[in-house]
A and B are shown apart, each in its own frame.
Chain A
Amino acid sequence: GAGVSQTPSNKVTEKGKYVELRCDPISGHTALYWYRQSLGQGPEFLIYFQGTGAADDSGLPNDRFFAVRPEGSVSTLKIQRTERGDSAVYLCASSTYRQNEQFFGPGTRLTVL
């Protein structure tokens, strides 16, 4: 079956612009996570959804970052007024239940110039 997909695969933007990153989880997976991975680091937790609601957004670095999952499936990570420090690979993962193994998408590489 289809795995987790993320679009776009690459995004280059200018400082100060707004970007949206999309995640399509595996059908039926209720848990969805967003991570950010910088060079030389492991994935860093950003936000966790259980169904439609953000169960934990404690990893979002500041109020420029926001994520939604309105119908409990597709999720969008939104970054306002992008900064060069936002450049990273943004990973999405889904699972059947929050502590079970996670299925990752291929990531979106964001570059802020």
Chain B
Amino acid sequence: ILNVEQSPQSLHVQEGDSTNFTCSFPSSNFYALHWYRWETAKSPEALFVMTLNGDEKKKGRISATLNTKEGYSYLYIKGSQPEDSATYLCAFLGSYIPTFGRGTSLIVHP
């Protein structure tokens, strides 16, 4: 059983705050790491697909980094907005079967 951990489990921030959370995964047999955003009553939506150690990806105010040697990825949100409120999931792929973490629930208060 692969262990994919996300921390913190939940996070409350004020509008305008910057925040970050962590995804930890096995450091062996790495193929890819996916980040998804899952808003209430919607489908999970892909944010990033990361494949190379040292990868840094950015989409608007959201960015992610990847360290495959130590087995972690960080997701950063700069200047959080209420519409960023969602659960952020990471998925580790050691093969073609994704193993998801439990997610970090982010709530941004106006």
Query: Interface on A for B, CB 8 Å cutoff?
Result: 3-4, 31, 33, 35, 40-45, 48, 55-56, 58-59, 91, 93, 98-107
Q: Are A42 and B43 in contact (CB under 8 A)?
A: no
Smallest CB-CB A-B distances: 4 pairs = A42-B100, A101-B46, A98-B96, A104-B43
A-B contact count (CB 8 A): 57
Q: Are B102 and A4 in contact (CB under 8 A)?
A: no
Q: Are B103 and A99 in contact (CB under 8 A)?
A: no
Q: Are B89 and A42 in contact (CB under 8 A)?
A: yes
Given contacts A45-B98, A103-B43, 13 further A-B pairs with CB under 8 A are A31-B96, A35-B100, A43-B89, A56-B96, A56-B97, A59-B97, A91-B43, A99-B31, A101-B34, A101-B46, A101-B49, A102-B98, A104-B44
7 contacts between A and B (CB under 8 A): A42-B89, A48-B96, A56-B97, A91-B43, A99-B93, A102-B98, A104-B45
SS of B interface (majority): strand
